[in-house]
Amino acid sequence: MTRALYSLCGADQQHLFSPHCWKAVMALAHKGLDFEEIPTTYARIRAIGGGVSQTVPVLDDNGRLIPDSFDIALYLEEAYPERPSLFNGEGGEALSRMVEGYSQMIIHPAITRIALLDIHANLDEGDKAYFRESREARLGKSFEVVAAGSEAEKAAFGAKLEPLRHMLKFQPFIGGQAPLFADYIVFGALQWLRVCTGLTMLAADDPVLGWFERCLDLHESRGRTVTAA
């Protein structure tokens, strides 16, 4: 069986940084499924499956193409029910939807404002103009204006993780005693920050950093296959 995951890369094909792609990578590893990860620049996304998606990740499972990280997780859960569960039932799926909302509405915007110039600097030359134009349109500001506030964003970033710290008083993972897809959602966000800018804004004794290190160690340390900034 041929299984491949198209993942976003920078100019260096080893620089795999997308939070959404990392969710899918960890979901596949959680299921214990072999797959080839195909580094893909923004410009090459439109060629996947004849234009099946405008974004990555896209999973090609023996010819079946599934875009979107959450849809990939749902597909894996249905297609491989005999393997470790990503949700442990309907409640875990509902939990993951809530966690995804928290991650994408609170954590992702902060990381964008912190790491914007670093992300741009690491992109393939053919992607840089697209990235600047699309992100400045989304943010309503130039990169330089956004970057001017990056230090303030770094100082405020830790507070945005307080819900996670509260949870970690009771359990080692968002999924409880072991990780679920909900963990990989937030892991993907912090992995994005780790490989683009670094996690120096988190103290060494921060429980969130301890949780993140545990996630890096999962699945034969898959998260450590890409080095930190």
Identify the three-state secondary structure at position 16.
strand
Closest CA to 22 of 150, 224, 191, 212: 191
User: Distance (Å, rounded) from C-alpha 193 to C-alpha 196?
Assistant: 5
* CATH assignment, 90-225: 1.20.1050.10
Rg from Cα positions in the chain: 17
pLDDT at 21: 98
Identify the three-state secondary structure at position 176.
strand
**101 touches 95 (CB < 8 A):** no
State how far the alpha carbon of 103 is from the alpha carbons of 1, 3, 85, 190, in Å. 33, 28, 21, 10
pLDDT at 1: 62
DSSP 142-173: -HHHHHHTHHHHHHHHGGGGHHHHHHHTT-SB
Half-sphere exposure of 5 (CA within 13 A, CB side): 26
Q: What CATH topology corresponds to 3-79?
A: Glutaredoxin (3.40.30)
Question: What residues does each domain of the chain span?
Answer: 3-79, 90-225
Looking at residue 107, the DSSP 8-state letter turns out to be: I
Question: Could you tell me the two tokens for 218?
Answer: 């999962």
pLDDT at 158: 98
User: Distance (Å, rounded) from C-alpha 182 to C-alpha 79?
Assistant: 19
Q: Quickly count: other Cβ atoms within 10 Å of residue 66's Cβ.
A: 21
Summarised one tens digit per residue, pLDDT across range 94-116 is 999 999 999 999 999 999 999 99
DSSP 211-225: HHHHHHHHHHHGGGG
Task: Point out the residues of the chain with pLDDT beneath 50.
Answer: none
Summarised one tens digit per residue, pLDDT across range 121-137 is 999 999 999 999 999 99
Global confidence as pTM: 0.97
